[in-house]
Chains A and B, each alone.
Chain A
Amino acid sequence: MAKRNKFFKQQPLPLAEQLRQMKLHWPEFSRSIDRSRVSWIGRLTPTEMSDTYTVRVTYTAPLRPVVEVISPELKGRPGERIPHTFPGKKLCLHLHEEWDAANTIIATTVVKWAALWLFFYEAWVITGKWEGGGHEPPTKRGG
């Protein structure tokens, strides 16, 4: 097998494929397309003892999808910032290298990671401890 040229950027997965996979796995999610940017909005309930969250996944290939919780508001804990979030309370679901626009299917990864994130978030709200593991960023850049 030919060695991959590291300077050669692989094409992102065709948007149609991401759309098809989302439709297949998350048929209840609504979607809107604005030129090259696509947004899906749908609901996730991590457990029977969880809130039901409305989340929005926004994707502009080949950038990593942005995941936000629309409702209920993530109130967190008084005086503490919510772990594993970007500014604007966008969820920080994976390392930079865990997103590969050429291969990663949003429906089977990012959306599911969001459900897990919400589970650990709820536990954190009550316990003050994040049990979901992960990394703290070494620099200002996160992924």
Chain B
Amino acid sequence: MAVSPAPYFTEDFSIRLDNLLFIVCEELQISGTRYRLAEERYHAIARYLEADGSPFNRYKPEIYPQGSMRLNTTVKPVKGPHDLDFVLQLSVHYELYRDPLKLINSLYEYMCQSGLYRLMTTKMNRCVRVEYKDDFYMDIVPACCNPDVPGTCLMVPDRQAKDWKDSNPKGYATWFDRKALVVASDGSAQIMAKAQPIPEQQAVAEKRPLQLAVQLFKRWRDVRYTDEPELGPISIVLTTLAADYYGGEGSVSQALNTVLRKIVGRIDEADAERRRVLVLNPTNGNEDLSERWDEYPERYTAFKAGIREFQRQWSTVLAKKGNVSTDLEKLFGEPVKKAYTMQAQRVQKDRSTSSLGISGSGMIVPATSSIPAVPRNTFYGEEK
């Protein structure tokens, strides 16, 4: 990939903003080291679950990531541990386990038989949680096949409901991937194509704008509801809404704009009809991913207020076309500082190698044959 011109030289606000958001997303995602650690851990758990003597051994267990780990939309939590979700899929008809609780119980008991996992394992409503000391937990959802329905549908035990619940993590991931590959016909896909990532951002640059928009959306949620996290919309709701409304924009900032505008439109429609927004599982129209809003209407009120506010703030950022650093920091917090630091360090590095020029409008640009490098200078201190 071409390295020149470097991204921060671009004389286009949208591309520059996108480049900054790339760095923010890079900062937000689980680090490479942590990702590899998570992989090692789930492979270790998978080996244990597949081992001779495992009650699941005969059901050809398959363990794989779901949710943000699978969709590549991980976001570091503002505080607290990083949770990653995995599925333990058994090739067995769910009806074989007459009692759904038997499945989750036997997973829990088997994990507790291990000297390694015994003290780390907790039984949750739909999963067994393995908690590591280094701010990391892995939720393992046990699942059986549902051959009555074509495709990749699974049944998972729900302890509260004492029943099976539909789930389709593979189907959802396929749906999300397909949405992420949508390309707008209006040429907006070109915006990001022009942006040249800096090497540290390669991993993020390979992501689709939808994945980046989901990361930013989730991060906004974590920051916006930091004092009342229970009011914040859950990740699957945000991810589904974002993917539903993503219009194939090539630019992450534009993608976010479209998604927010359309969600606000949907809230307005629902308000006018005196009902709430339903966020249905795209792979199972009977499943309302937003069902908790019925039980906790204050969360729906908080969602509506938050989304309207975010939409206003984001359209202000896009309209401003200038210095939006404090707006971005309010929305996404600490990683914005990191992004500005990295850009400033990059400018400083290029300045030290006499690669920078200043255009006629006082804008920092690459030095060329017609724009000479800025002569060296040393910013001095201050007089007391």
* Chain A interface residues toward B at CB < 8 A: 25-28, 42-52, 81, 83-87, 92-96, 98, 108-109, 111-120, 122-123, 125-137, 140-143
A126 in contact with B10 given A84-B381, A86-B382 (CB within 8 Å): no
Interface status of B32 (Cβ within 8 A of chain A): no
Q: What are the nearest 8 A-B pairs in CB distance?
A: A44-B362, A134-B379, A131-B344, A123-B344, A137-B381, A136-B381, A126-B325, A112-B358
Q: How far is the CA of A27 from the CA of B337 in the complex (A)?
A: 35
Nearest Cβ in chain A — how far from B137, in angstroms?
Answer: 32
* Chain B interface residues toward A at CB < 8 A: 8, 10-13, 16-17, 20, 321-326, 329, 336-337, 340-341, 343-345, 347-348, 351-352, 356, 358, 360-364, 372, 374-384
A45 in contact with B362 given A51-B322, A112-B374, A123-B344 (CB within 8 Å): yes
Q: Hey, which chain A residues are within 8 Å of B379, CB to CB?
A: 83-84, 92-94, 113, 117, 120, 130, 132-135
Q: Is the CB of B324 within 8 A of A135?
A: no
Q: Is the CB of A81 within 8 A of B363?
A: no
A48 in contact with B13 given A93-B379, A127-B341, A127-B344 (CB within 8 Å): yes
Q: Hey, which chain B residues are within 8 Å of A117, CB to CB?
A: 379
Q: Is the CB of B383 within 8 A of A116?
A: no
Nearest Cβ in chain A — how far from B382, in angstroms?
Answer: 6
Q: Hey, which chain A residues are within 8 Å of B383, CB to CB?
A: 86-87, 137, 140-142
Secondary structure of the A side of the interface? loop
Nearest Cβ in chain A — how far from B198, in angstroms?
Answer: 15
Q: Is the CB of B358 within 8 A of A142?
A: no
Q: Is the CB of A123 within 8 A of B340?
A: yes
Q: Is the CB of A83 within 8 A of B20?
A: no
Q: How far is the CA of A133 from the CA of B322 in the complex (A)?
A: 24
Q: Is the CB of A92 within 8 A of B362?
A: no
Nearest Cβ in chain B — how far from A39, in angstroms?
Answer: 17
Q: Is the CB of B381 within 8 A of A25?
A: no
Q: Hey, which chain A residues are within 8 Å of B374, CB to CB?
A: 109, 112-113, 116
Q: How far is the CA of A123 from the CA of B344 in the complex (A)?
A: 7
Nearest Cβ in chain B — how far from A120, in angstroms?
Answer: 6
Q: Name the residue of chain B whose CB is nearest to the CB of A25.
A: B360
Q: Hey, which chain A residues are within 8 Å of B356, CB to CB?
A: 116
Q: Is the CB of B351 within 8 A of A116?
A: yes
A49 in contact with B20 given A86-B382, A95-B378, A126-B329 (CB within 8 Å): yes
Q: How far is the CA of A64 from the CA of B380 in the complex (A)?
A: 13
Q: Hey, which chain B residues are within 8 Å of A51, CB to CB?
A: 322-323
Centre residue among A28, A46, A51 by max chain B CB count within 10 A:
A46
Q: Is the CB of B382 within 8 A of A142?
A: yes
Beyond the given pairs A98-B377, A109-B374, A119-B347, 17 more chain A to chain B contacts, judged by CB atoms under 8 angstroms and listed by A's residue number, are: A28-B360, A45-B363, A46-B362, A47-B364, A48-B13, A49-B13, A49-B20, A83-B382, A85-B382, A112-B374, A113-B377, A116-B364, A116-B374, A116-B377, A119-B364, A142-B382, A143-B380
Q: Hey, which chain A residues are within 8 Å of B324, CB to CB?
A: 49
Q: Is the CB of B378 within 8 A of A134?
A: yes
Q: Hey, which chain A residues are within 8 Å of B344, CB to CB?
A: 119-120, 123, 127, 129, 131-132
Contact of A45 among B348, B361, B381 (CB under 8 A): B361
A26 in contact with B360 given A93-B379, A98-B378 (CB within 8 Å): yes
Q: Hey, which chain A residues are within 8 Å of B375, CB to CB?
A: 108-109, 112
Q: Name the residue of chain B whose CB is nearest to the CB of A115.
A: B362
Contact of A48 among B16, B336, B347 (CB under 8 A): B16
Nearest Cβ in chain A — how far from B50, in angstroms?
Answer: 48
Q: How far is the CA of A111 from the CA of B360 in the complex (A)?
A: 11
